Structure 1
Amino acid sequence: MAGLKPGAPAPQAITVHGQSRVLEIAFSDGAVFRIPFELMRVYSPSAEVKGHGPGQEVLQTGKREVGLLGLDPVGNYAVQPRFSDGHDSGIFSWDYLYHLGSQQARLWADYERRLAEAGVDRDAPMAAAGGGACGHHH
């Protein structure tokens, strides 16, 4: 994976607000986003959440109270958050964080719609991760 696109906004400052559970990011183009941990967790780019292809996304629920235990830098283009529910396999590039921040309203609406379609509550506990749904046949 190549680094940043030339001229792509890079974060100037990243602040973790543990109490309000938001990640505040100020980008070089002047944009400042406050991204809730829940949104980051629900839209984590990891295979565990994304699945292995379109339509295989695993709908995440019960993440409203999720905390952020740490942010580990990945090269100079991404961070890897460690969430309080043990999830730590998502690599968030600056581009992706910018996308989450700038598209927040649409992403929340999408999430609400997916919850409604699945007939599940946003605060329902996740089924134990048995990994069965993923079907790892290599």
Structure 2
Amino acid sequence: MQPTDVTLIEDHTVLAVTWDDGETSRLDAVTLRQASRAASEIRRQAEGVALTLPPALRVQGVEPIGNYALRLFFSDGHDRGIYPWVYLRQLAGQAA
């Protein structure tokens, strides 16, 4: 499963991914930020520390990581998470 298009829409609050099977996933910035698997986020979750997000959180940038993932840059400064294609598709399925 590979994307054919990745676009930030709705004033950078939604990541739209069109897949090679024709389906399009829409993932909002809050869902993506909460789902970060960066080491610091996993530690925060394990310690039971709540994630406080600013209002109007946005995805400020998208960087491809090889042929398998994206690195997302958020308006709250978080930029450490890598989102493999399989993980993005799973997140989209959970949000549906």
Instruction: Name the Cα RMSD after superposition.
Output: 2.0
Higher normalized strand content (fraction of residues): 2
Gaps of 5+ in 1: 1-8, 106-138
**Displaced runs of 4+ in structure 1, greater than 2 A?**
61-64
2:68 aligned to which of 60, 77, 92: 77
Aligned length: 95
Q: Which residue in 1 is equivalent to 2:94?
A: 103
Separation in 1, partners of 2:31, 2:55: 9
Considering Cα pairs closer than 8 Å and 6+ residues apart, tell me whether 1 or 2 has the greater RCO: 2
2:43 aligned to which of 51, 64, 79: 51
TM-score by length of 1: 0.62
Gaps of 5+ in 2: none
Describe the superposition over 1:83-131 as per-residue Cα deviations: whole angstroms up to 9, x where unpaired. 11110000000001101111115xxxxxxxxxxxxxxxxxxxxxxxxxx
Letter in 1 for 2:20: S
Separation in 2, partners of 1:22, 1:34: 6
TM-score by length of 2: 0.86
- Using the aligned pairs only, state the percent identity: 34
Separation in 2, partners of 1:13, 1:48: 29
